[in-house]
Amino acid sequence: MINPRQLFFIIALTRISALLVLLPVVTAGNALQDAWISVIVATVVAILFVWLGAYLAMKHPGKSLGQFSRDLLGKTGGAITTGLLAISFYVLCLIRTRLVSLVIISHFMPKTPGWALAIPVLLTAFYGAMMGPDTVGRASEFLFTVMALIIVVSMVMSYVWSAERVAGLKPVLSRGLRPVFGAAVPAAFLGLMSGLKVLALGRFTVEEHKMPKATALALLVSGLVLLVVTIDVLTTLGPAQAQAYVMPVLALASSVFIEGILERLDLVLMTAWVLGITFDVTVLLASSSILIGDSLGIGHRKVAAALFLLGVVPVSHRFTDIFVMRQLHSIPVTGIWSAAICVGTLAPVFIAYLIKKRRGGS
């Protein structure tokens, strides 16, 4: 079992790792210097939707979405709503695994084949999923401390701010509000997917009444970290150039060094990020297996083993490259994906819950 504090760590950690990779608020859309406003919009939207998920999990203690959606919508309806979220978790797990290998290859190890990096990450995730939520919860406490290093480093980076640069953050909105909301879409999607893990992990969480608060707080804290990093990126690299980088956070780290103390900030960030993203992949695989297992009535470890074997080829193959990854984090793809999750999973389950509640069901 995990406690609400560990749930907070898990969700915050996975969202920070997921968002740092491509920093979609900066790279997607055209918000430019106003991208930091997109972070706030994305965080607020993600909290609103995730709170619904956490509320449902709280109202069904000891059950995952796979179990209580079947109670609310029947076997077929439950399978569809759960399947949509479970498959999304699984696809994201594969995308992130591939992305880790691509980023490491393109920035540090050009000769290393993708599979040599991707398979160990997926295997680690599989091992974590096999160990179960208890182990994942305990690991989150340690790893969050490591990721806290990123937060501290981000703060240290902020020393490169100058009054003039920070004054430059005054909203320009040169193209209106549309680019700001557009840039918020991928970030809101990633926040949504991080927070909705509560629908799988809620089954293993004690003190269920604290789940909504822990989940919302996790999104808020990760949103603050993202805000600091985004402002650092915008003020240091320049909005237009930041948009052009494959991984703006690494470019930022490569432009800052603290003489006599830390020369290769990019390596520190990269190490912390790889740890964080491996953990994220673990939680995604575990959540996906729990949802599928509960929906089909089989053990989640068996499902995790099957998913691992299914994923070995996609994460190793060359058909996904960094261009594909950018498209997968684009506004249209993440917008449609978010809408599908909200309309296909959250809305039917929540409406069914309200109907059942009105009819006097528990």
Partner 1 sequence: MRRIGLTALIVFLALGCSGCWDSVEIEEVAIVGSMSIDKGQGDHVVVSLEVINPSALASGTQGPIGESPVVSVMTRDEANTIPAAITSAQRRTPRKICTGLVGTIVIGQALAREGVGKIIDYLVRNATVRSSATLTTCDTGAGLLQRPFMFPLPSRTLAGLGESALASGMTITVTLCEFMARLSEPGIEPITMHTVGRKIKDVQVKRQGDEVKQTDPAVMREQPIDVDVSLDGELPPDSPILNPYKETSSGEFVPGTTINIGIAAYRGDKLVGFLDDHEARGYLWTVGRVEQGTIEVDDPGGSGKKIALGIIRSSASVKPVIDDDLIRMDVELHVDLETREAPMHTNVNNQTLVQALEDSLDALILREARATLNRVQKELKTDIYGFGNKVYRKDPKLWAELEPRWNEEIFPNLEVNIQVKSRVRAPGSAYSVANR
The terminus-to-terminus CA distance of the chain in angstroms comes to: 24
In the bound state with partner 1, the residue whose beta carbon lies nearer, of 41 and 237, is 237
- Choose between 266 and 294: whose C-beta lies nearer to partner 1: 266
Smallest separation (angstroms) from partner 1 to the CB of 238: 3
Q: Is 173 exposed, middle or buried (0-12, 13-18, 19+ CB in 10 A)?
A: middle
How many Cβ atoms from other residues are within 10 Å of residue 233's Cβ?
Answer: 29
Name 214's Cβ contacts closer than 8 Å, sequence gap at least 6. 4, 5, 7, 8, 11, 54
- If one counts every other C-beta atom within 10 angstroms of the C-beta of residue 167, the result is 9
- Minimum Å distance from CB 33 to partner 1? 8
By the 8 A CB rule, do 282 and 129 touch? yes
Residue 97 DSSP SS3? helix
Min. distance of Cβ 236 from partner 1 in angstroms? 6
Q: What is the dihedral of CA 29, 31, 35, 41, to 10 degrees?
A: -80
Quick one: 108 or 142, whose CB is closer to partner 1? 108
At 346, the amino acid letter reads L
Kindly tell me which of 7 and 121 has the beta carbon lying closer to partner 1.
121
Catalog residues that contact partner 1 under the rule CB under 8 A: 106-113, 116-117, 119-120, 123-124, 126-127, 130-131, 163-164, 168, 170, 172-174, 236-241, 244, 250-251, 254-257, 266, 301, 305
The CA angle 322-105-120, to the nearest 5 degrees, is 100
**What 3-state class would DSSP assign to 2?**
strand
Question: Closest approach of Cβ 341 to partner 1, in Å?
Answer: 30
As measured in angstroms, the least distance from the Cβ of 196 to partner 1 is 26
Task: Spell out the SS3 assignment of 197-245.
Answer: CHHHHHHHECCHHHHHHHHHHHHHHHHHHHHHHHHHHHHHHCHHHHHHC
Q: Which is nearer to partner 1, 3 or 254 (CB)?
A: 254
- Nearest residue to 277 via CA among 120, 43, 108: 120
Q: With respect to partner 1, which residue has the nearer C-beta, 23 or 237?
A: 237
Give, in order, the Cα–Cα distances in Å from 151 to each of 213, 225, 272.
22, 6, 11
In the complex, what is the shortest distance from the CB of residue 169 to partner 1, in angstroms, rounded to a whole number?
10
Closest approach of partner 1 to the CB of residue 124, in Å: 7
Nearest distance in Å: CB 354, partner 1: 40
Taking the complex as a whole, the smallest distance from the CB of residue 224 to partner 1 amounts, in Å, to 24
**In this complex, which beta carbon is closest to partner 1, that of residue 11 or of residue 94?**
94
Torsion of CA 95, 100, 102, 108, to 10 degrees: 170
Residue 326: phi and psi, rounded to 5, are -65, -40
Token pair 């053990």: residue: 299
User: Toward partner 1, which CB reaches closer, 46 or 242?
Assistant: 242
Minimum distance from CB of 239 to partner 1 (Å)? 8
Please identify, using beta-carbon distances, which residue of 106 and 330 lies nearer to partner 1: 106
- Judged by beta carbon, residue 74 or residue 171, the one nearer partner 1 is 171
Q: Hey, is 262 helix, strand or coil?
A: strand
